[in-house]
Amino acid sequence: MSGRVVVIGVGNPLRGDDGIGPAVVEALRGLVPDGTVLAVSDGEPARLLGLWQGADTVVVVEALRTRPARPGELHTLTAAEAAGHLRGAASTHAFGLGECLALAKALDRLPQQLVVHAVEVTDMELGARLSEAVRCALPELTDRVATSVRQAYERKRGP
Amino acid sequence: MNPRGTRVLRLDALARVEGEAALHLRVQDGSVTETRLRIYEPPRFFEALLTGRSHTEPPDITSRICGICPVAYQMSACQAIENACGVTVDGSLADLRRLLYCGEWIESHALHIYLLHAPDFLGRADVVELARDQRAAVERGLRIKQTGNAILEQLGGRPVHPVNVRIGGFYRTPAPDELQSLTEQLRHAREDALETVRWVAAFDFPDARCEHALFALRDPGRYAIDSGTPTVIDPAPGEIPLPGLEFPLSEFEEHVREEQVPHSTALTAALDGRRFLTGPLARYAISGRWLHPVAADAARDAGLGDPGVGAVCDNPFRSIVVRAVEVVQAVEEALRIIDGYAPPPRPAVEVPPSESVGVGATEAPRGLLYHRYALAEDGTLTGARIIPPTAQNQTAIEEDVRRAVQSRLDRDGSDAEDEELTHLCERAIRNHDPCISCAAHFLDMTVERT
């Protein structure tokens, strides 16, 4: 086990709520142990695969588009759930996380532990800021991600 | 289905097309009467964002237009600003820029060939399906892509939105041994790239021919990537085209104009009033004679004709083969640059602002990318214009889609289901790897009949 813990914020900060992933990664600085890899990604699958290569635990932060939408609502998904749910209409990154998880599975490249923390989003206009609903969800989402990271290190230390 | 009457295919989003795009197709009494590709155009937003900023900012800001080809935006932006300020960046700094650009070609082409385009030819829904029974091929594609990535990390500081590029050069230039650390990976990538050419050359290609003027930069002596003169050729079937028409980059907007077309309210680009195509097919026709011998041999063996005498590939489905040859070219070029690298005396040259207008153009993986900036005396940007390759290619792509669907309908269209036509449209579009932006993109495709 490498013990490597990687947090990936998927999204585009220039597109309103789509920037939630990178915003969480920014908010995590100083809150997680040194050595935790904090990365942002546009969701392109080959780069995501590269980012988590050799990692034991991967925590992904995503924007979710749902119908009907409950902007700001948080979801925590396992890799299997994410692969099922995100492949297709749910993710804002059509060719992104969902496809990446399915591809990783086909190539036996899923990390040992992978969890996805996601928030339902509403406004993804180019040049927009985070919507109020999503901005309000940022602290709790950040907290959930930090907790996942802490748990990863606890698992590493063992019982 | 009854071939009489009207039906409309509307693809709200296109799978395996980078970014956002939608297609509207109208079929009336067995004829395609309307083909409208709606392209989402972030450059307009960025042009507005840039106005009032400093002349040092465009490379950074415009690199965010596209996560797949940030280097192309940085390079066209740098050249346009440097052009405005009367500065030329050459020698080792220019070589390093070209090397960085090779990394982007390798990455972007590997992504398109393996993850987006190949499934079309192998009857797979997507790369996930492909990975299940052609795992070695997909792994090869990821390895090649990783090599491009390594160049971007080494020179650009990081792979997405590289941070080490500035007008005049770089913030920091590498020591020779830092670059040589890439050599072994690149040698492996050369083998993988040659194998890729053989792999894609064996695909089945539908019969198709595009009749567009071909438009690319021309840089005599080398395959144009980061510099050259805009050149247009008009290939005739089976003939080696005559030397093309060239014009100075400063006249770009006089030749490439966005025009209103009768059937649509949208603006579409025309080159001297004609439909045209930029990208790999155009580059191969215009620069093929300057391919590295290894890449030229691979092209010949792959059935692309003799690039040494200006062979043209006019089947858009075969663009995947041309992209594969360009990966070989980019790998060879990267190895050549690293081998001859001597660090520049300074990481960047001074680019003092002056009140002026400057233009820059480079060959992004998808085609010619043009930038123009107007500067005030203190370097404040007073205007910006960005014309990406996909916007230039829009009319050609629409025509390819129309032809593909029409030829299917002509071949007893009565049994052509919407699903089949949708797939055909997507293939015709994917041939040109349209990159609209690395924006959020939604995958809900609907096909609507009326």
Q: What is the pLDDT of residues A94-138, one digit of tens each?
A: 456 777 888 898 999 999 899 999 998 888 787 889 999 999 999
Residue that is written with structure tokens 């595009």 in the block = B210
Are B10 and B138 part of one and the same domain?
no
Which chain A residues are Cβ-neighbours of B142 within 8 angstroms? Answer: 46, 49
Are B407 and B333 part of one and the same domain?
no
Are B117 and B193 part of one and the same domain?
yes
Please report whether residue B56 resides in a domain: no
Residue B263: predicted pLDDT: 52
Are B134 and B31 part of one and the same domain?
no
Residue B299: predicted pLDDT: 98
Tally of domains in chain B: 2
Query: Touching check for A97 and chain B: CB below 8 Å?
Result: no
Residue A92: predicted pLDDT: 35
Determine the 3-state secondary structure of B189 from DSSP.
helix
Q: Which residue intervals of B291-446 are DSSP H helices?
A: 293-301, 319-339, 389-410, 418-430
Candidates B18, B132, B439; nearest CB to A15: B439
Asked which of B349, B384, B419 is the last residue of a domain, the reply is B349
CATH topology of domain A5-157: Rossmann fold (3.40.50)
Please report whether residue B129 resides in a domain: yes
Per-domain boundaries in chain A? 5-157
Please report whether residue B78 resides in a domain: no
* Residue B351, phi-psi category: left (phi > 0), alpha (psi -120 to 50), beta (remainder): beta
Which chain B residues are Cβ-neighbours of A103 within 8 angstroms? Answer: 127-128, 131, 138
Residue A91: predicted pLDDT: 36
Which chain B residues are Cβ-neighbours of A15 within 8 angstroms? Answer: 439-440
* Residue B234, burial from CB neighbour count under 10 angstroms (0-12, 13-18, 19+): middle
Q: How far apart are the first and last CA of chain A?
A: 16
Cα distances (angstroms) measured from residue B26 to each of B368, B396, B434: 30, 17, 21
Candidates A89, A93, A103; nearest CB to B444: A89
Query: Touching check for B157 and chain A: CB below 8 Å?
Result: no
Please report whether residue B312 resides in a domain: no
Query: Touching check for A67 and chain B: CB below 8 Å?
Result: no
- DSSP strands (E only) in B199-241: 213-218, 229-233
CA-to-CA distance for B170 and B97, rounded, in angstroms?
9
Asked if the Cβ–Cβ distance from B131 to A106 is below 8 Å, we say yes
Contact B82, B352 (CB under 8 A): no
Residue whose C-alpha is closest to residue B448's, from B2, B12, B1: B12
Residue whose C-alpha is closest to residue A32's, from A1, A11, A66, A8: A8
Reported ipTM exceeds the 0.90 cut = no
Please report whether residue B283 resides in a domain: no
Q: Per residue in A11-50, pLDDT tens? A: 888 888 989 999 999 999 999 999 999 999 888 888 889 8
Query: Touching check for A40 and chain B: CB below 8 Å?
Result: yes
Asked if the Cβ–Cβ distance from B139 to A107 is below 8 Å, we say yes
Contact A149, A36 (CB under 8 A): yes
Asked if the Cβ–Cβ distance from B115 to A45 is below 8 Å, we say yes
Asked if the Cβ–Cβ distance from B149 to A124 is below 8 Å, we say no
Are B19 and B92 part of one and the same domain?
no
Q: What is the mean pLDDT of each run of 10 residues along chain B (450 residues)?
A: 56 50 79 79 82 96 84 97 97 98 97 92 90 96 96 85 91 96 98 98 94 96 97 82 87 88 64 94 97 98 95 96 98 98 97 97 97 98 93 90 89 76 86 59 30
> Residue A89's pLDDT band (boundaries 50, 70, 90)?
very low
Please report whether residue B430 resides in a domain: yes
Tell whether omega for the bond before A68 is within 30 degrees of 0, i.e. cis: yes
Please report whether residue B12 resides in a domain: yes
Query: Touching check for B155 and chain A: CB below 8 Å?
Result: no
Residue B130: predicted pLDDT: 94
* Residue B189: domain span: 88-207+322-349
Please report whether residue B185 resides in a domain: yes
Asked if the Cβ–Cβ distance from B68 to A44 is below 8 Å, we say yes
Query: Touching check for A122 and chain B: CB below 8 Å?
Result: no
Contact B50, B382 (CB under 8 A): no
CATH number, position B107: 1.10.645.10
Which chain B residues are Cβ-neighbours of A46 within 8 angstroms? Answer: 110-111, 115, 141-142, 145-146
Are B190 and B104 part of one and the same domain?
yes
Query: Touching check for B15 and chain A: CB below 8 Å?
Result: yes
Contact B378, B203 (CB under 8 A): no
What's the gap between Cα B98 and its chain centre?
A: 16
Asked if the Cβ–Cβ distance from A95 to B15 is below 8 Å, we say yes
Determine the 3-state secondary structure of B386 from DSSP.
strand
Asked if the Cβ–Cβ distance from A88 to B135 is below 8 Å, we say no
Which chain A residues are Cβ-neighbours of B13 within 8 angstroms? Answer: 94
Q: Most B CBs within 10 Å: which of A18, A67, A95, as the mutation test of the B interface?
A: A95
* Residue B185, burial from CB neighbour count under 10 angstroms (0-12, 13-18, 19+): middle
